[in-house]
Amino acid sequence: MKTTNKLPPIIIDTDPGHDDAMAIMLLIKSKLFDVKAITTVAGNVKIQDVTNNARYVLDLLESDVPIYSGETRPLKRQPVIAQVHGNGGLAGANITKTEKLNHEAVNQIIRIVRENPHEVSIVVIGPETNIARAFIKDPELPKIVKQLVIMGGTIEAPGNKGSVAEFNIFCDPEAAKIVFDSEVKIILNPLDVANHMPMFLEEFEKLKGSKLYQPIISMMTHFIKGIEKFELTKGALMYDPLVAYYLVNPKAYKLTNMEVHVETKGEYTYGMTVVDRRTWGEKNPNVSVITSIDRKSFVNDFVKIIRS
């Protein structure tokens, strides 16, 4: 009898973005997952651009993973866009195709999770609008998603969009609040860790010989230029691939359970992730927060997987 080795199903919910592109490449090239869908969400740039960018990345990978476009704006607030990724959200990439928007992301997230209860990990590397919409439409969903692996928020580090908020959460705080207050299991990669783990151009040079070398060097050169204007580093901040890598090699991670809430009413703190860091009193931890990642393993595996 033929035996099939079933790979763990995942969905990548994303707003590409340079670091999103690296996360998508890492997950697909690893061949460790059954990538059921790329769902796009307005975030780094508008929905048409992020969806075109997702198509560009999948074409580079010669991948037939379906793309479902998602929410075009946040639940309540005015849309925000990012500055570090340049025009179109993926400066340095040769985007030539306009991907037709199908607005199917929310329905497809629900379908995929319903068809694979307790099995699907969702890699959430954009604003949480699609996920919140799916939870509103299907309130049982948080209980049957295996886990959300989220790039978002900050514990002690300053914000990267305003003084206290991280970009993905700031883009749609109301959506993030729905997600964090739900029963879903969350693994969170906050800025605190990602800020200290840039990858440098010399490290991307190790991809020489790979088909992806040229496009990656071109994208990362532009990303680093964008980052230099706003952050104190000369490297590419690998926010999204760092959380994606958790699924590839969880042993490289240290996690601490924390109680995390999203501020939606503050005049100065809108979009802040408020963490109860008191050492006393009762806590209701709702999130496993990544507190450290083995950088060497990440960089070595990233290079190995992309070259493979």
Q: Which residues bind ligand BDR (CB under 6 A)?
A: 17, 19-20, 44, 82, 125, 151, 160, 166-168, 239-240
What region does 135 belong to: left with phi over 0, alpha with psi -120 to 50, or beta? alpha
**128 binding Ca ion? (CB under 5 A):** no
What is the number of other CB atoms lying within 10 angstroms of the CB of residue 118? 10
Cis, peptide link before residue 281, omega less than 30° from 0: no
**Residue 35 vs 165, nearer CB to ligand BDR:** 165
Residue type, 157: A
CB of 285 to Ca ion, least distance (A): 25
Contact criterion met (CB below 8 Å) for 231 and 237: yes
**Residue 122 vs 125, nearer CB to ligand BDR:** 125
Residue in 13, 20, 128, 172 binding Ca ion, rule: CB under 5 A: 20
**Residue 215 vs 241, nearer CB to ligand BDR:** 241
Cα–Cα distance measured from residue 68 to residue 134, given in angstroms and rounded to the nearest whole number = 13
Out of Ca ion, ligand BDR, none, what residue 166 binds, judged by CB under 5 to 8 A for its kind, is ligand BDR
**Residue 15 vs 71, nearer CB to Ca ion:** 15
Tell me the residue number closest to ligand BDR, measured at CB.
167
Out of Ca ion, ligand BDR, none, what residue 12 binds, judged by CB under 5 to 8 A for its kind, is none
**Residue 107 vs 233, nearer CB to ligand BDR:** 233
**Helix/strand/coil (H/E/C) assignment for every residue in 204-268:** HHHHCCCCCHHHHHHHHHHHHHHHHHHCCCCCEECHHHHHHHHHHCHHHEEEEEECEEECCCCCC
CB of 218 to Ca ion, least distance (A): 19
Cα–Cα distance measured from residue 228 to residue 250, given in angstroms and rounded to the nearest whole number = 30
Binding site for Ca ion (CB under 5 A): 15, 17, 20, 125-126, 240
